[in-house]
Amino acid sequence: MKKKGFILLVVLLVMAGAAAFMYYGYLYKEARNVSSEEADFQIPATKLLADYTANQQQADSTYLNKTIEIKGTVTQITDSVLTVNGQVFCGFDIKPGKHAINKTVTIKGRCIGFDELFGEVKLDQCTIKE
Amino acid sequence: MKNLRFILVLIILTIYNCMYAQKYTTKTGNIKFEATVPSFEEVAGENKTASAVVESSTGDIAVLALMKGFRFKVALMEEHFNENYVESDKYPKATFKGKIEGFDASKLTSEPKAYTITGDLTLHGKTKKVTDSAKISKSGNTITVTGAFEVKPGDFAIEIPSVVSKKVSDKISVTYSFSLIK
């Protein structure tokens, strides 16, 4: 009798574990955290732009959805967006602190593609690396 | 000769400047879509980095949204959206090119007025004509355009697997809001 109860307990525990795994590990797994990811590419902003202007599809297959680190000069700051080298749009989830225009920065973010309307490469979930 | 060239450059610059001044633009437009079925989990995504350009002299409007820029509350939903539904690796952007009927920037006021926008919406490699009613207002150098329309996944060759078809509405409501600056 005691043994049966033990087995039942083990079975229940395993089932609960599997359910928890399904729930947190798959169905409601945590969203990607770009800021803590290791960058796949560490390149100057000019290189990213050059690659996108040369061949958009090629560049998309290289950079799209990847975490990249770009180095460039801040050319514009509006609310939660920093523009680097005039044509790299970096969207921040958390507003970046005060950053002077013309300062050289390294920004880590996820590449979401090329915007033809403005001829810009867009990154989101950006963070500044000092 | 040198003088002439200077004048020519000046004229070109002026024309360019005039043309440029007629454009209202934003790079942080908001587009939301929702395909929630009542009493099931919320199916909704939001893009806060859509680009839009309105040509005030003609009423032409162009919008571009990068598909990867749509964010979801549930990470798995975002993954499915990108990988199975809109295939954002293959089709990274959605575009809209259309016209605001009877648009006249000088007649806009801070009171939102209704306008009809018609144009072609392209996503997932398919194009469909979309008509919707937008509210447009203006204050200072900013034009605000808001509106909503409905699309069907089938119109863009997006298949909803039968397993989840009860949980994803076959009518997707899209709402947008752009604050365009001169």
Domain boundaries, chain B: 22-181
When CB atoms are compared, the residue of B64, B78, B88 closest to A115 is B64
A37 touching chain B per CB within 8 A? no
Q: How wide is the angle at C-alpha B140 spanned by C-alphas A87 and B181, nearest 5°? A: 15
- Calculate the average pLDDT of chain A: 86
Picking from B64, B122, B141 by the largest number of A CB atoms within 10 A of its own CB, the best residue to mutate is: B64
For domain B22-181, give the CATH superfamily: Lipid/polyisoprenoid-binding, YceI-like (2.40.128.110)
Residues of chain B neighbouring A26 (CB-CB closer than 8 A): 76
Provide the whole-model pTM: 0.81
Higher pLDDT, A84 or B13: A84
A28 touching chain B per CB within 8 A? yes
Residue B15 is predicted with a pLDDT of 58
Question: If you ran DSSP here, which 8-state letter would residue A103 be given?
Answer: -
**ipTM confidence score:** 0.77
Q: Percent of chain B, pLDDT > 70?
A: 88
For residues B23 and B54, is the Cβ–Cβ distance under 8 A?
Answer: yes
Residues of chain B neighbouring A89 (CB-CB closer than 8 A): 27, 49
Range name among A26-35, A53-62, A107-116 with the lowest pLDDT average: A26-35
Residue B166 is predicted with a pLDDT of 84
For residues A74 and A87, is the Cβ–Cβ distance under 8 A?
Answer: no
Split at pLDDT 50, 70, 90, the class of B162 is confident
Asked if residue A103 has pLDDT above 90, the reply is no
Asked if residue A74 has pLDDT above 70, the reply is yes
